[in-house]
Amino acid sequence: MANIHEELILVDVEAENYEEVIRKVGKTLFDNGYVKDTYIDAVVGREAEFPTGLHLDGIDIAMPHTAGVHVNIPAVCVAKLAKPVVFSHMGDPDTKVDATLIFMMAIKNPDEQIDTLQAVMGVFTNKEAIAELNAAKTKDELFSVAKKYIK
């Protein structure tokens, strides 16, 4: 099942803080019917308690998500921010990352979507993929890179 959709690829997302990022990117998932109206608040709440920022080799990212009950259709929303936004690190909330790329995960059942999770994780650990994601400037470019690595 394809989890990357053109309508879920965003570039130049303007936001001042992580909550604004989640609300803006989450709205795209909601407006397109992928998640329920409870999703955005649930993700914001979870991010405050258990942050999802990650410092990767070559880029800082965040992968906000929440429980499957808030999801209609599994998908991954890939968003490039207009400027870096501070997220706390997943492994240590006292560490901050300057995220420029967001993988907002709408996962309904992790066991069934394990291929998607592994594909996303494969991107995190793939230097070439990170370089291509960094280089992608337009929506078309970001869509083709995301499609290439997350099937």
Q: Least separation, in Å, of the C-beta of 137 and another protein?
A: 25
Q: Please say whether the beta carbons of 91 and 62 come within 8 A.
A: no
Q: Least separation, in Å, of the C-beta of 99 and another protein?
A: 13
Q: By C-alpha distance, which of 87, 110, 130, 123 is closest to 4?
A: 123
Quickly list H helices, the chain. 18-31, 39-49, 114-124, 127-135, 139-149
Nearer to another protein, 5 or 65 (CB): 65
Q: Least separation, in Å, of the C-beta of 45 and another protein?
A: 11
Residues lying near another protein in the complex (CB under 8 A) are found at: 46, 49-52, 54-57, 63, 65-68, 89-93, 105, 107, 110-111, 114, 117-118, 120-121, 124-126
Q: By C-alpha distance, which of 41, 38, 124, 37 is closest to 76?
A: 124
Quickly list H helices, 96-138. 114-124, 127-135
Nearer to another protein, 82 or 91 (CB): 91
Nearer to another protein, 107 or 142 (CB): 107
Nearer to another protein, 50 or 140 (CB): 50
Q: Least separation, in Å, of the C-beta of 121 and another protein?
A: 5
Angle, helix 127-135 to helix 139-149, in steps of 10 degrees: 160
